[in-house]
Amino acid sequence: MLTRFAPSPTGELHLGHAYSALLAHDAARAAGGRFRIRIDDIDGGRSRESHVAAALADLAWLGLAWDGAPVRQSAHLDAYAAALADLAARGLVYPCFCTRADIAASLAAPHGPAGPLYPGTCRRLTAAERERRRAAEPHCWRLDMGRAAALAGPLRWEEEGQGVRLADPAAHGDIVLARKDAPASYHLASTIDDAAMGVTHVVRGADLIASTDVHRLLQALLALPTPRYRHHALVCGADGRRLAKRDGAATLAMLREKGVDGGALANDLRAGRLPAGYSLRMA
Ligand code: GLU
């Protein structure tokens, strides 16, 4: 078994990250397997080295040990570009020139699991227009979901504790695989790296279960293996909403500075005992 914890170094870790890292770590250790850290730092504009160092210090404070050096997504840009080129050669992606404002203006579009669905404007451009605009305009790359989902056929994954789940990638519409400002989207980078690292069990929060629809499709398109998944309950604050990076009060760094014992906190989280004001919920 190989599990991973994959923080994005765009902010400080909070109790929700601690809970996720502990579950991934403990699952691997219980099976005599390996636990690795991946730094999801493809967003060069928002990633900070100070957050990488703080995240590793937080995990060590919780008493977690990981195998090997942390892996960095910023070192894998060639692999993401190669996968994108492969999909492009098969006519499964297209450049999209729409701005956020363009997309917001066509809000007749229905909503998918992660927001409004892209209305497909740039999918309908002629090849000549695509080439002309590609040279001159900033663009992202989108998956042609209709073609991709039809090519892949029905897809399933094994969700721990629930059994087989049917993936519904088509519900996400033409998702972005490479952003205007970043060489790969979370979906593309995460899917490729989970396979490259040999991750056998993806342990992550229930907020990401819809992403697995897309990851399962990308695995099929790129001939990558499918790990097992466990989407766990989320740590929520007093308002019942899951913790987000903006909830400064809950950062691990603050607890650490207050003199909280990281090992004791880890054992409390393992037992489902959360500090006052926090609770675990599935969504
Ligand atoms: N970097 C992603 C996050 O922090 C990782 C998600 C995942 O585990 O796939 O949300």
Residue 48, phi then psi, degrees to nearest 5: -130, 135
pLDDT value at residue 283: 73
Residue 15: is its pLDDT beyond 70? yes
Centroid of ligand 1 to alpha carbon of 102 (angstroms): 28
Which of 18-27, 103-112, 172-181, 259-268 comes out lowest in average pLDDT?
103-112
Centroid of ligand 1 to alpha carbon of 36 (angstroms): 13
Q: Which of 29, 130, 245, 256 is catalytic?
A: 245
Residue 250: is its pLDDT beyond 80? no
Using pLDDT thresholds of 50, 70 and 90, give the confidence band for residue 94. Answer: very high
Dump pLDDT digits (tens) for 70-83.
999 999 999 999 99
Beta-bridge mates of residue 279: 236
Q: Are 173 and 117 in contact (CB under 8 A)?
A: yes
Centroid of ligand 1 to alpha carbon of 201 (angstroms): 14
| Burial (CB count <10 Å: 0-12, 13-18, 19+), residue 164 | exposed
Strands 156-159 and 163-166: antiparallel
Using pLDDT thresholds of 50, 70 and 90, give the confidence band for residue 131. Answer: very high
Residue 108: is its pLDDT beyond 80? no
pLDDT value at residue 107: 62
Domain 2-74+233-281: which CATH number of 2.60.120.260, 3.40.50.620, 3.90.1150.10, 3.40.50.1000: 3.40.50.620
pLDDT value at residue 133: 97
Pocket of ligand 1, candidates 42, 157, 187, 208: which has the most ligand atoms within 8 Å of its Cβ, to mutate? 208
DSSP codes of every residue in 152-180: H-S-EEEETTTEEEE--GGGG-S-EEE-S
Query: Is 245 one of the annotated active-site residues of the chain?
Result: yes
Question: Residue 232's closest CA among 38, 40, 30, 19?
Answer: 19
pLDDT value at residue 111: 79
Residue 247: is its pLDDT beyond 90? no
Classified by CATH at the fold level, domain 78-156+165-178 comes out as Glutamyl-tRNA Synthetase; domain 3 (3.90.800)
C-alpha dihedral, 182 to 186 to 191 to 197, nearest 10°: 80
What beta strand segments (E) does the chain contain?
Answer: 2-5, 34-39, 71-72, 93-96, 111-112, 115-116, 140-143, 156-159, 163-166, 176-178, 201-205, 228-232, 234-236, 279-281
Mean pLDDT calculated for residue range 147-169: 98
Write out the residue limits of the CATH 3.40.50.620 domain(s) in the chain: 2-74+233-281
Using pLDDT thresholds of 50, 70 and 90, give the confidence band for residue 248. Answer: low
At 262 the three-state DSSP class reads helix
Residue 267: is its pLDDT beyond 90? yes
pLDDT value at residue 110: 73
Q: Are 184 and 77 in contact (CB under 8 A)?
A: yes
pLDDT value at residue 126: 97
Using pLDDT thresholds of 50, 70 and 90, give the confidence band for residue 113. Answer: confident
Q: Are 222 and 85 in contact (CB under 8 A)?
A: no
As for ligand 1, residues whose beta carbon falls within 6 Å of it are 6-8, 40, 190, 204, 208
Ligand 1 atom at minimum distance from 202 CA: 8
Dump pLDDT digits (tens) for 198-243.
999 999 999 999 999 999 999 999 999 999 999 999 999 988 888 8
**Could you give the CA distance from residue 162 to residue 44 in angstroms, rounded to a whole number?**
37
Mean pLDDT calculated for residue range 89-98: 97
Write out the residue limits of the CATH 3.90.800.10 domain(s) in the chain: 78-156+165-178
Mean pLDDT calculated for residue range 131-152: 97
**Could you give the CA distance from residue 140 to residue 97 in angstroms, rounded to a whole number?**
7
- Tell me the pTM: 0.95
**Could you give the CA distance from residue 160 to residue 193 in angstroms, rounded to a whole number?**
21
Pick the more confident residue, 38 or 116: 38
